[in-house]
Amino acid sequence: MELSSILQPGARAPEFALKTTPDQKLALSDFRGKPVVLAFYPADWSPVCSDQMAVYSQIIDEFRRHGAQLLGISCDGVWCHLAFARDRKLAFPLLSDFEPKGDVARSYGCYDDAAGVCGRALFVIDGAGKVAWSYLAPVGINPGADGILAALEDLSESSSRPRPQQGDRS
């Protein structure tokens, strides 16, 4: 899996609806109009994934300050996600890309066929549903949140800039 294989900025983010519980789904379109952070990760309970998700939960207010919704996505099942989220006290939804396995990860270019799991990929999706920023981290390294926060800051700045009025030549 190479960085060039994941969706790049400017691409339309593929729509999806994934389970968060056995009887509830969340769709990307549920958050249209606000930024969404997608954090694909290989597996609940693995040390690096546990650390990564804990970092995001600890700084959830930073994401919220930008009006962004964080969604964790892996191929683990909903029951595994629910136990993991409860045990780690995660403050954001985990979505199950379980059936068909890795379908959403594949659409974002971050499914690792050899390992049978999601790659450790991050996406910031703007309110219009386009990829604003993406990053594929090595599987054994926690990418942290600096890149995500910088991308959210850029989105906030670009949305607060005055837009030229019709007829303006600026």
Closest residue by Cα to residue 120 from 41, 55, 8: 41
Give Cα 70 distance to the centre of its chain.
6
Q: What is the DSSP letter of 68?
A: P
Catalytic residue among 49, 75, 110, 118: 49
**CA 162 to CA 139: how far, in whole Å?**
40
Q: Are 159 and 68 spatial neighbours (Cβ–Cβ below 8 Å)?
A: no
Q: Are 106 and 98 spatial neighbours (Cβ–Cβ below 8 Å)?
A: no
What are the start-end ranges of the E strands in 22-161?
A: 24-27, 36-40, 69-74, 94-96, 111-112, 117-118, 120-125, 131-137
| Residue 49 annotated as catalytic | yes
Task: Tell me which residues are annotated as active site.
Answer: 49
